[in-house]
Structure 1
Amino acid sequence: MTGADPTVIRCDQFIPHPPAAVWRALTEPDPHARWWAAGDVRPVVGHRFTLDMGSWGDQQCEVLAVEPGRLLRYSFAPGSLDSTITWRLEAERTGTRLFLEHAGFDLDSPLGRAAYEGMGRGWPGALRRVDHALVEVAGR
């Protein structure tokens, strides 16, 4: 889950769907809400959106980088967590390897530490839900 930098969460998941489908799960509101959080996510640099994080409240985001079908990076919770989420997709066998890097946690801050610990535990499960969300979307 984590790499050498103690302020960065890293994890990956094999998803048995082609990269184009996984890209939709990251960049379209309906599938995104099914596996993680509701929000008007779009793969457009400069696009600002809000994610409904339940008990963590609404979190503001802004798209920082897009390589269609390959990479999506956005700021997450500026002004409180000031972190950055990067998604990277690689074709692998009959599906996609989805890589996540959630960086910028201030571990000296109680909020930063709590978010790092909570998201560190939560991200692997969220990535496992991408497959289920894609099956649900395809079945409707």
Structure 2
Amino acid sequence: MRPDVKDEVRRLFRGLGYGTFLSEEEKRELRINFNHRYYGDDIYLLKPGFSIFSNFISWLKPKAMHAYHPKYDHQLGIGIFSGEELGRVNRDMKLIELVDIMPTILDVLGLEIPATCEGKSLLRR
């Protein structure tokens, strides 16, 4: 997107008050600062309770939209684990990071956790 067009779109959306554009710093913190355009040119985070319609996916009004930002306490997820190996999950933890799920699954499967993986296994050693 041309910078002048991006600036104009941002200006129009800012005046609506329905959400905010993620800053480059927020994108880095959330691990969504991609150097490609597969997911669009910008990210606009809607405030809870708002949705965008028409959305070019369906003519039906959406009942919800996919969104997540850790600054909203009510957007916490839960993990439900089952299996003998998962008995070693550290139950003392209050909250876990989403990036820890993949290394935990790899650990359960007995597979090597890549050095590039940001998270850590939740299994006790």
Name the larger-Rg structure.
2
Structure of greater relative contact order (alpha carbons < 8 Å, 6+ residues apart)? 1
Between Structure 1 and Structure 2, which shows a larger proportion of helix residues? Answer: 1
Would the TM-score normalized by the shorter structure come out above 0.5?
Answer: no
Between Structure 1 and Structure 2, which shows a larger proportion of strand residues? Answer: 1
The two structures have a TM-score, normalised by structure 1, of: 0.22
The two structures have a TM-score, normalised by structure 2, of: 0.23
